[in-house]
Amino acid sequence: MPRSFLVKKHFSASKKPNYSELESQTVIVSPFLYEKYPLSVIPQSEILSSGSYYPPLVWDTGLLSNFFTSEPDYKQSAASPSEDSKPLDLTSLSSEEDEGSKTSDPPSPASSATEAEKFQCGQCNKSYSTFAGLSKHRQLHCDSQSRKSFSCKYCEKEYVSLGALKMHIRSHTLPCVCKICGKAFSRPWLLQGHIRTHTGEKPFSCTHCNRAFADRSNLRAHLQTHSDVKKYQCKTCSRTFSRMSLLHKHEETGCTGTR
DNA sequence: CTGGGGATGGGGCCC
DNA sequence: GGGGCCCCATCCCCA
C-alpha cells in the first residue's frame, strides 16, 4: 500500500502554485538540540548562522481564500453551465495553463454578451457561440481548475490540497539542515532525530531489556522481538514476523505453506 | 539467508 | 494554518 495515499494520479491538468514562494524556506533548529554535542565540533556561532535564513513563506490571503472557498464539483458537466459555482482565480499562481483566458479578453457582463454567444461557462462566465466552443474551453481551462489538483513541479505527484502539496515540496527543497554534517531534511523533527545520531541520545527505552533507541519507531519494532507471536503473519504458513519487510522477504522467497 | 538495529520519509492528527 | 508528534513504511547494513 503506498504511503502517499493522498497523492492524486494523473489528472489531465493541474494547478501549479507559486513555487518561488513555496520553496525558499530554511528551518532554523534550536541550538539546544545540539547541546550534548562537543562545542569544539559545533561552534555556537554556526548554529544560528544568518546565512541559512530565508524570508518566511508569504501567501496572498485573498488568493488562498479562493482555493478553499469552493469544493471540487466533479459532477458538474459542460451541459450544465448555468449551475452556480465560484470560479477559481489562479492567474497569479500559474502562467502555463490558462490558455483559455489568454485567447480573449476577460468575460464581459452578461448584458454585453451578444445573442450569438449563448453558451456561458458556469465557472468563469465566458460566453461562446457554440456548445463545442464552450466544451473545449471547459476542458482546457475551467473543468481542470475545478478539480483542485495541485501538482508538484519537481515530480509527477499531485495533491488534493495546497497544504499537502506544500508539505510534499519540502521533501524536494529540504529546508532543515544539520549544522554538524550538512545533511538536509524535509521537516524539523526529522532533523531532530538525525541530530540524535550525532549526540547519541536515546530517549526511548525498552521496558523488557532496557535497551535504548533514538527513535520511537525503532523501539516499537524492537518490542516485536520480545513477542512470541509477531505482528506480521504469513497468510500461507501462519509464520509471524516482527517487521513487514521481513514478511515481504519471506513471501518473495516463495512460501510453500510449510514452516 | 535471516533477523534485527539504525536511519529516514511522509501523511495524518492534534493543539 | 503551521508545528510537533504519531504511526507506518522502507532501505541499508551488520551479526
What value does the mean pLDDT take over residues A216-236?
Answer: 81
Measured in angstroms, what separates residue A170's CA from nucleotide B8's C1'?
Answer: 14
- Could you give the 3-state DSSP secondary structure of residue A26? coil
pLDDT at A219 over 60: yes
- Please identify residues in chain A, positions 152-211, with a C-beta within 7 angstroms of any atom of strand B: 157, 164, 167-168, 171, 174, 183, 185-187, 190, 193-194, 196-197, 211
Q: Which nucleotides of strand B lie within 7 A of protein CB? A: 1-12
Q: Which helix (H) or strand (E) holds A249?
A: helix A244-252
Spatial neighbors of A30 by CB under 8 A, at least 6 apart, are: none
- Could you give the 3-state DSSP secondary structure of residue A241? strand
Decide: CB of A8 under 7 A of nucleic strand B.
Answer: no
Inter-residue contact A191 to A178 (CB < 8 Å): yes
Decide: CB of A244 under 7 A of nucleic strand C.
Answer: yes
Average pLDDT, chain A: 59
What value does the mean pLDDT take over residues A5-29?
Answer: 43
pLDDT at A47 over 80: no
Measured in angstroms, what separates residue A65's CA from nucleotide B8's C1'?
Answer: 35
Locate cell 565540533: which residue? Answer: A41
pLDDT at A138 over 50: yes
Quote the percentage of chain A above a pLDDT of 90.
0
CA A108 to chain centre: 37
pLDDT at A30 over 60: no
User: Which pLDDT value is given to residue A49?
Assistant: 32
Quote the percentage of chain A above a pLDDT of 70.
44
Spatial neighbors of A13 by CB under 8 A, at least 6 apart, are: A97, A140, A144, A145, A149
Answering whether pTM is above 0.85, one says no
- Please identify residues in chain A, positions 166-185, with a C-beta within 7 angstroms of any atom of strand C: 166
Instruction: Give CA–CA dist A196/A127, Å, rounded.
Output: 61
User: Which pLDDT value is given to residue A54?
Assistant: 33
- The pLDDT tens digits of the residues spanning A179-188 come to 888 888 888 8
User: Which pLDDT value is given to residue A55?
Assistant: 32
- Please identify residues in chain A, positions 54-83, with a C-beta within 7 angstroms of any atom of strand C: 57, 59, 64, 68
- The pLDDT tens digits of the residues spanning A235-245 come to 777 777 777 77
Measured in angstroms, what separates residue A167's CA from nucleotide B13's C1'?
Answer: 15
Position A167 confidence tier, pLDDT thresholds 50, 70, 90: confident
Highest mean pLDDT among A90-99, A127-136, A155-164, A191-200: A191-200
> Which amino acid is present at A93?
L
What value does the mean pLDDT take over residues A123-141?
Answer: 68
What value does the mean pLDDT take over residues A48-58?
Answer: 32
User: Which pLDDT value is given to residue A60?
Assistant: 32
Measured in angstroms, what separates residue A95's CA from nucleotide C4's C1'?
Answer: 35
Locate cell 516482527: which residue? Answer: A242
